[in-house]
Structure 1
């Protein structure tokens, strides 16, 4: 059963355009950087949310996408969006934890995850998801990272509470190479990708305040927006395009 704070968090994210920083432009760029996919590739989108990457991937590639998340209401919204966009037959929602996916080895030509790998940790994701890749397959994921080697106390306190294992790009490149991947591309998401997430979230929080939702819980949900405004030059989301060696 979810806690009151988790309930407020989910209410604040209900039917937002996306659940993490990103954009259709970035998804399209990363897909181009991945390259070398077969016609109609098999895709697994892990931590898909309501499908901000799922639907563009299905539309751009002509492939089938297994869309994985643990929150059924997100997947219900994805089903509606997929049906409305004419992609319903090529999107298969799957309720499953990202660290224990009920999918066979070699299931995917492309494994994709935007804004979710930190939940299990970068190294664990690289290890757990590798088996899903078919020969010649590619892993694309975004990861929260420090963009400085000396973050300020305010930024450090926020991320230590939620993701104490967060590292720099150089450290994660080295980790990916140690895990047996070739790093094909690295891309720091632009500030506009954060705005695409935070602006709708801020509007939703304001609406929930007007509706009388617990202001302390809303303050906690919205705290990350304030941290980003104060310390956004010190961290970001970095996308990785990786191929197993």
Structure 2
């Protein structure tokens, strides 16, 4: 016979737990004449059997049912399914922790967080020690905080010799300029890159131009371009983030953003840039959109990872109107605009494959090239010329 303290020591449970077991009629103690409560070896073995059943994930109530009647196989199957789900969740948790420690791939995790909480994701990356520029590039390009530096070094190696960093054509930039409702006097270009559109704005307007990019090397290239064409007096370059533009309200009558608004989110751009425009000022931005209601599964899968906010034109127009703009005009970039970007890029990738056989950046760029080759026409860039209304 065992006193309750002795039984507790034998089975590794507290006195309170044993009293609860007794209350649930799982064991049955006897009180001696001296007032001590005692238990038999049968009680000891019964508790050990319960502990074995509990190790399979059964609750105390389910253990009691198994002790008092034939095992309920459906109950065990349900518990097994639940246990499998818990194991899968624990495995995911382990994979994330090892990845955060630099021992695994974080790409899928970053993609998922950016899909459900893009602004919080950006803030968190900055708190991890990344500059805003690095954090934005991590969100859109490397998607792995542990491999970001290597990824970006490879990415910049691919693009360093390329004139264009996004689809576009001179003729269609000029077309968009021709659709402006008034001649601009002060232009802000956001995400100017190496300045292809900047030069066309200078050549086709008499406006002063402030060009913003967060890549200083691109701005250096732009300044050199304007200097060689005797246009420097009309150009001001600013190395800054598009999310925190250092300008006063009502500073510009035209904001120009070809292929850049997606970086901060089109809806955010529509809202945050609007105060910088004068009354009835104009915003021209381009955005990647679906051109069909039935895109292929492969194209959907790719763009959901690379640009989760991709919309069809109708939906994006609704966003524009909700943000307080009137649509002056809109048109889709031609296939030539895409060829101007992708054909040199494909050639560049082919030239670097042997030098960079294990480059994740090169692999990602190759995947995008394949999507362009196989599915262009299902998606495209839409140029939106918008007038600020309220």
TM-score of the superposition, structure 2-length normalised? 0.60
Range with bigger deviation, 149-158 or 166-175: 149-158
Could you report, residue by residue, the CA deviation over 1:36-56 in whole angstroms, capped at 9, with x for unpaired residues?
124xx1111101100010111
Higher helix share: 2
Q: Note the residue ranges of structure 1 that are not aligned, 5 or more in a row.
A: none
Which among 285, 290, 300 is matched to residue 156 of structure 1?
A: 300
Asked if 1 retains the 8 angstrom alpha-carbon contact of 2:290 and 2:379, the reply is yes
Q: Count the aligned residue pairs.
A: 242
Does 2:174 match 1:28?
Answer: yes
Does 2:150 match 1:7?
Answer: no
Does 2:386 match 1:236?
Answer: no
Which among 328, 337, 353 is matched to residue 184 of structure 1?
A: 328
SS of corresponding position for 1:182? strand
Q: Note the residue ranges of structure 2 that are not aligned, 5 or more in a row.
A: 1-133, 135-147
In structure 1, the partner of 2:359 is 216
Q: 2: CA distance between counterparts of 1:91 and 1:224?
A: 34
In structure 1, the partner of 2:27 is none
In structure 1, the partner of 2:234 is 90
Counterparts in 2 of 1:1-245, with a 5 A limit?
2-38=148-184, 41-209=185-353, 212-217=355-360, 218-245=362-389
Displacement of 1:75 after TM fit? 1.0
| Residue 207 to residue 92, structure 1, CA distance change in 2 (3 Å) | farther
Displacement of 1:215 after TM fit? 4.7
Displacement of 1:86 after TM fit? 1.5
Q: 2: CA distance between counterparts of 1:59 and 1:117?
A: 23
Higher strand share: 1
SS of corresponding position for 1:233? coil
Query: Greater relative contact order: 1 or 2 (C-alpha under 8 angstroms, separation 6 or more)?
Result: 1
Q: 2: CA distance between counterparts of 1:78 and 1:15?
A: 14
Asked if 2 retains the 8 angstrom alpha-carbon contact of 1:69 and 1:94, the reply is yes
Which of structures 1 and 2 has the bigger CA Rg?
Answer: 2
